[in-house]
Amino acid sequence: MFADDARKKDVKTPTIVSEIWHNGEFVKWDDARVHVMSHVIHYGSSVFEGIRCYKTLRGPAVFRLREHMQRLVNSAKIYRMEHEWTVEQLSKATTELVARSGVQQCYIRPIIFRTLDEAHPAFGVNPFPNPLTCYIGAWDWGKYLGDEAIERGVDVCVSSWNRLTPNSMPAMAKSGANYMNSQLIKMEAITNGYAEGIALDDRGFVSEGSGENIFLVHDGKVVTPPLSSSILPGITRDSVIQICRELEIPMVESGIQRAALYVADELFFTGTAAEVTPIRSVDRIEIGTGKRGPVTERIQKMFFEITSGERPAPGPWLTFVDEHKPATQESGNGFDAAQAHKVAEAAVAEAATASVNDNAVEPLSFQSVMTE
């Protein structure tokens, strides 16, 4: 009944880093354990990040490290997680972890969650009595949507599951619990032979993939749903928006109808795991020529040139692990607190505007997809 190999297939994981950062110390993989009665296991009380570290000629470089850590801190704030970890400490812990591991490239997973105080156990939904703990792990991870996906594109479906509503589970917080919704979307997609599912928001507008933001190209113009369509404020999404500016490709954030997906010239996903992945069909309807389109290719090319360090980024996007001190601004890389705050604040401002201003969620009608 099911394509069993597809259901069991996971992303290639050639290496797992043997140490894990835990609350300021490095512990061995085997020692990074939690109690089965921890609050997080029962009630999903975690917030986390996914960050990529790329191999460059200057050694391993973490992509948009501070922006990720700022989003982690924001996610924790939304869930009233009071902790002491700063963006600086978490960023430093990450570069130290990668440096100690000796790996050239990896995927990094910081997570803050509610655990169990064994001296004073608390089992109720109320999370406050349960202590917070923070871990950062890493592993080398292959192409999230398959080895050939980056060039050939993926076949996807529109999910029968809607994305979260903004006033039930905020999609702008990257919480572990949100990924139960993502799992429903992903399981349905792979069970039906697709690589990924696209969720609509509760009004029927396009939201995002189970673990990716989505972009549409029509008549040379790039369109992506706004935060008010219950999306995660993706850092790759923000990078692609900036890349469009660099390439002088017109770009707008706008509500997108499901039908607009089918008649788009090009579609692509963005995400830390998925990077920039073309979509070649939706619900078995071919998108454009059924291949990676020229706009997607230009954006993808620039994205990978930046992540590999071959081309300067529009901002300080790479943190070079081997250069213990922050890289200089002239190199266009290194720590930049102001930049991280700008991205996070822009996301918050956009979400705030959307909540009070209906125009910000003005749907892109079939007609307006077709014309300016």
Ligand X SMILES: Cc1ncc(COP(=O)(O)O)c(C=O)c1O
Catalytic entry in 174, 221, 291, 301: 174
Smallest distance, Å, CB 52 to ligand X?
A: 8
Does 201 participate in binding ligand X (rule CB under 6 A)? no
Smallest distance, Å, CB 1 to ligand X?
A: 28
Binds ligand X (CB under 6 A): choice among 170, 211, 255, 315: 211
Does 213 participate in binding ligand X (rule CB under 6 A)? yes
Determine the Cα–Cα distance for residues 174 and 88; give it in Å rounded to an integer: 19
CB 198 within 8 A of CB 187: no
Closer Cβ to ligand X, 72 or 321, answer by number:
72
Residues contacting 24, CB < 8 A, separation 6+: 89, 93
Verify whether residue 301 is a known catalytic residue.
Answer: no
Stretch touching ligand X by CB under 6 A, among 35-43, 83-91, 235-243, 297-305? 235-243
Does 224 participate in binding ligand X (rule CB under 6 A)? no
Closer Cβ to ligand X, 115 or 233, answer by number:
233
Does 47 participate in binding ligand X (rule CB under 6 A)? no
Does 212 participate in binding ligand X (rule CB under 6 A)? yes
CB-CB neighbours of 80 under 10 Å: 8
Closer Cβ to ligand X, 211 or 315, answer by number:
211
Residues contacting 295, CB < 8 A, separation 6+: 217, 220, 222, 249, 265, 266
Binds ligand X (CB under 6 A): choice among 19, 155, 196, 208: 208
Closer Cβ to ligand X, 173 or 217, answer by number:
173
Does 137 participate in binding ligand X (rule CB under 6 A)? no
Determine the Cα–Cα distance for residues 180 and 273; give it in Å rounded to an integer: 18
Does 271 participate in binding ligand X (rule CB under 6 A)? yes
Which parts of the chain are beta strand (E)? 15-16, 19-22, 25-28, 46-48, 51-56, 59-63, 106-114, 132-140, 154-162, 196-200, 206-209, 213-218, 221-224, 251-253, 255-256, 266-271, 275-282, 285-286, 318-320, 363-364
Q: Which residues bind ligand X (CB under 6 A)?
A: 50, 182, 208, 211-213, 232, 234-237, 270-272
Active site residues: 174
